Amino acid sequence: MTLAPSYTKGTETRDGDRPTLASAQSLAARTLPPERIAAMSARATVAPGRREQMVLPTPWETEPLGTVRRSTPDDVRYAAELAREAQAAWAERPLKERAKVLLRLHDLVLRRQSEALDLIQLESGKSRGHAFEEVADTAIVSRYYARSAHRHLASKRRLGALPLITGTVEHFQPRGIVGIIAPWNYPLSMGITDALPALVAGNAVLIKPDAQTTLTGLWIATLLDEAGLPRDLLHVLPGRGSDLGEPILDEVDFLCFTGSTTTGRLIATKAAQRLVGCSLELGGKNAMIVLDDADLDAAVHGAIRGCFASAGQLCISLERIYVHDSLYDEFTRRLARAASSLRLGVGLDWTYEIGSLVSSSQLETVRRHVEDAVEKGATVLAGGQHRPDIGRYVFEPTVLADVTPDMEAHSCETFGPVVSLYPVANEAEAIARANDTEYGLNASVYTRDIRRGRRIAARLRAGTVNINEAYAATWASVDAPMGGWGDSGLGRRHGSYGVLKYTEPQTVAVQRFHPIAAPWFMSNETYAKLLTGALHVLRRIPGRG
């Protein structure tokens, strides 16, 4: 396997500061020698028999990373049989034991992060700094649910039908088997963090990683094995979504999907037909608002991070920025200059800031949106070019102005390093234009007045809103829910929502002394009058529901 050297654009580095081709190749070979790929491939669940090999691509080179056995619908059914048997015993284990697995995973991920960073970069093409976000997120979520699961999953006393006579408790039982269909853009974070609360709640899990990022999914599964997760509780099924998505949904009791809105609608329809639950994080056309009192330095820095993290291939990245007229020219000048100075590159090192797009199809979407905008009159303030001299799918961070509703970049999700700027006269216009979308995933507001920012946030139709931050504040606040409105999906990850969705609530009520019915010596009419009087009394007792 050969790797391209790391090239940079913008800020210059000395030759001694730049990793050589030999060092990049050496690091990749250490991470992914053939025997290492074979070992991870063996972690995939397959039924007995021969299987077709699936090529493992990398956005950096034409040479693939290797091959892994492709799962089939038969493999899905086989995995589900094993999982059902394992799940029954797992659910009987004390919650403390299940939580310890997550804490051990936390430590392993941090200890072995160099392997994770290499794999994420080799499969997704992103920069090492952005790959580290996934390592940190996985550790944070592991620790959070290990330490908070007892609070979320503890049985809760509820008000009974009649005071003192009825004792009512709510329990949270595991659903059984949870399916995870993970995306390619955050292969570690989105590949496992949705599975962790499902496991700690007592479920088994079937994971289908994206075909582009299969090795990362297999790697984290091997770490869970090391952390003590019992055999057959978690199965990784490499393959195409078109082949495995429906068979997985046929077998599971709940499905978590991260991906396109179009596919999400199909999954929701199928889940409804089976009467099983689903959680969907879908597309976004996320907006940033820069108010007239914003700190321009902070706003520009936030926009750079929010627009170009993971080369813009982030569900919660910013693709529209609405700037108050009084700051528009200066903000535009600073943002364009900052975007143009970002270091671009491919390679297993920390020296560049923006990596590659993941595939030819992503590159084609980005190019089409930019070319369409330019042909229809948009102005390119920064970037706008494919850079094959740096990497096959590298595209410059691009800032557009004069974007109009007839352009694809205006309303369609680009999912690449492209942002459009718009001047606005006041905050009312900014709010209205930010809400002028079918999506509702993430938003950002920059202002020095925090109360003003909170007031505006309450008027934005988005599942998460960051004030003076682009996306990381809400994303990393894992005790709070994260998810979208409208075409951005349904359901939530993180917090109590992120674990309780994998449970079935069960109410158990104990009735003491006498059933809730007329005694044998009383007529139904008399009983109704007596109960009516009791209800009037309960109405006057504070705190009674």
Annotated active-site residue 278? The verdict is: no
> In the listed set 233, 257, 281, which residue is the last one of a domain according to the structure?
281
**Boundaries of domain holding 439:** 286-487
Q: Is residue 271 part of a domain?
A: yes
- Kindly state whether residues 102 and 237 are assigned to the same domain: yes
Confidence of residue 121 (pLDDT cuts 50, 70, 90): very high
Cα–Cα distance list, 7 to 173, 193, 385 (Å) = 53, 33, 16
For residues 162-179, give the mean pLDDT.
Answer: 95
Task: Assess whether 255 and 396 both reside in one domain.
Answer: no
Q: Of 318, 320, 324, nearest to 296 (Cα)?
A: 324
Is residue 187 a part of any domain in this protein? Answer: yes
Confidence of residue 23 (pLDDT cuts 50, 70, 90): very low
pLDDT at 6: 32
Q: What is the pLDDT of residue 259?
A: 96
pLDDT value at 3 more than 50: no
Q: What pLDDT is stored for residue 162 in this prediction? A: 85
Give yes or no: residues 309 and 235 share one domain. no
Provide mean pLDDT across the span 106-134.
Answer: 96
Determine the residue type at 18: R
pLDDT digits (tens, 9 = 90+) for 143-162: 999 999 999 999 999 999 88
What's the pLDDT tens digit per position in 323-337? Answer: 999 999 999 999 999
Among 84-88, 511-515, 520-524, the range with the most confident prediction by mean pLDDT is 84-88
pLDDT for residue 544: 67
Please say if the pLDDT value at position 364 is more than 70: yes
pLDDT tens readout for residues 93-103: 999 999 999 99
Place of tokens 């390679």: 347
The rounded percent of the chain whose pLDDT value lies above 90 is 83
For residue 387, pLDDT beyond 90: yes
Establish whether 412 is a catalytic residue: no
Pairing of strands 53-56, 464-467: unpaired
Q: Whole-angstrom Cα distance, residue 115 to residue 211?
A: 19
Residue 286 to residue 346: CA distance in whole angstroms? 27
**Category of 121 on φ-ψ map: left (φ > 0), alpha (ψ -120 to 50) or beta:** alpha
pTM comes to 0.92
Q: Are residues 200 and 344 in the same domain?
A: no
Q: Which of 222, 12, 267 is nearest to 115 (CA)?
A: 222
In this prediction, residue 457 carries a pLDDT of 98
pLDDT score recorded for residue 9 = 37
Based on the fold, state whether residues 105 and 74 are members of the same structural domain. yes
- 224: closest CA among 252, 204, 208, 210? 204
Mean pLDDT of 433-439: 98
pLDDT over 80 (residue 7)? no
Of these ranges, 23-37, 362-376, 527-541, the one predicted with the greatest mean pLDDT is 362-376
Mean pLDDT of the chain: 92
How far, in Å, CA of 175 to CA of 197, rounded?
A: 12
> Are 490 and 439 in contact, with CB atoms under 8 Å apart?
no
Q: Is residue 17 part of a domain?
A: no
Q: What is the CATH number of the domain that holds 370?
A: 3.40.309.10
363 in the same domain as 392: yes
Label residue 488 by pLDDT band (50, 70, 90): very high
pLDDT tier at 545 (50, 70, 90 boundaries)? low
Q: Following DSSP, what letter does each residue of 268-313 receive, concatenated?
A: HHHHHHHT-EEEEE----EEEEE-TT--HHHHHHHHHHHHHGGGG-
Please identify which of the residues 256, 278, 307, 315 carries the catalytic annotation.
315
Question: Both 427 and 520 in a single domain?
Answer: no
Q: How far apart are CA 429 and CA 470, in angstroms?
A: 20
Residues 6+ apart with CB under 8 A from 176: 84, 87, 203, 204, 252, 253
CA 360 to mean position of chain CA atoms: 23
- Select the more confidently predicted residue: 273 or 7: 273
Q: Give a yes or no: residue 9 inside a domain.
A: no
Indicate the number of domains in the chain.
3
pLDDT at 12: 33
Among residues 281, 316, 336, the one where a domain terminates is 281
Among 123, 281, 413, 469, the one annotated catalytic: 281
Identify the domain boundary among 232, 257, 281.
281
120 and 264 both lie in a single domain: yes
Question: Quick one: pLDDT at residue 476?
Answer: 97
